[in-house]
Amino acid sequence: MSEAVEDEIEAINSIYGENTLYKRSDGAAFDGHVLTIPSREVALRLLIPKQYPDVCIDIIAVEGVGSTVPKGYGNHVLITARDVLSKVFIPGQVCLFDLLQELEQRLGQETSAQGEECLGNEDPEARVHHEVETTREADVPNRVTFIPEWILSTMVTEKKSGFLARACAIKSTTEVEAAIAHLLTSDKRAGKATHNISAYRIRTVVNGNEVVYQDCDDDGEDAAGGRLLKLLQMMDVWNVLVVVSRWYGGVKLGPARFGIINAMARQAVIAGRFAKDWSSHHG
């Protein structure tokens, strides 16, 4: 297996959890990889050819489903995954993360559509919970008066590139903008970083309804912001902003950089006790 594939698998497992994608090594008749779809209780069998990413992977079967999964849903996920793969695979480029991310989004849209169909049959006055994902809310004054209290990860260096994550509590997108602006103007080291990747999630109440704001910024580190936001979603953290600074050292790290970025972000989130299960991460 190439180093690029190993890096991609490491990045996926650092974001979605250990053994989300792993190699079967139990001597079974099937000799390949198993990909577990997060929050779906469905696992798929993959064959990753030695020529990958020049040659596409093969999704060959359903490995298993959870006890609560409806009959036939595993096969539906298999068919959907194959369709997604046909759209995201580009010869010469790794695609496992894109496959998983797009598959999750497609399945989530199906679930949302089913939920909306059910809501359509309810009494409108009974719909008291609304979630809205957007990038901005109404602008308010006093932006510059917000001074964040950052929780820092340890500094990590990999092949001359440095990585450092910061996390802080926020209550509005205005505070997000103010926190990032304050960081870049008050911390010369952060201001000189090659990339400052950021992601945030906010949950608040507007006119009696729950509203959700979440967004991310790659800051030139292609696709890193989306992966960082996915980490916050997987950790189920709210009202937090995470910024991961990278100082490029001249050596490309490939997909491994995503694993480092998310590992540093996870460390800062846990250190700040933003995660519900922060204590379990401390052993």
- pLDDT digits over 53-72, tens only? 888 999 999 999 999 999 99
CA atoms of 54 and 208, how far apart (whole Å): 52
Size (the chain), residues: 283
Instruction: Express each pLDDT in 163-206 by its tens digit.
Output: 999 999 999 999 999 999 999 988 888 888 999 999 999 999 88
- List of the chain residues with pLDDT < 70: 1, 26-29, 112-144, 277-283
Helix (H) or strand (E) holding 23, with range, is strand 21-23
What integer pLDDT is reported at residue 157 of this predicted model?
A: 86
What integer pLDDT is reported at residue 267 of this predicted model?
A: 93
What integer pLDDT is reported at residue 119 of this predicted model?
A: 47
**Helix boundaries (H) for the chain:** 3-16, 73-88, 96-119, 173-186, 188-191, 224-235, 256-271, 278-281
CA atoms of 19 and 73, how far apart (whole Å): 22
Give whole-number Cα distances, 247 to 52, 232, 251, in Å: 30, 22, 11
What integer pLDDT is reported at residue 206 of this predicted model?
A: 86
92 touches 53 (CB < 8 A): yes
The angle at the Cα of 260, spanning 257 to 266, to the nearest 5 degrees, equals 140
What integer pLDDT is reported at residue 29 of this predicted model?
A: 67
The angle at the Cα of 195, spanning 192 to 199, to the nearest 5 degrees, equals 125
CA atoms of 227 and 223, how far apart (whole Å): 7
What integer pLDDT is reported at residue 140 of this predicted model?
A: 38
pTM as predicted? 0.59
What integer pLDDT is reported at residue 281 of this predicted model?
A: 44
What integer pLDDT is reported at residue 224 of this predicted model?
A: 94
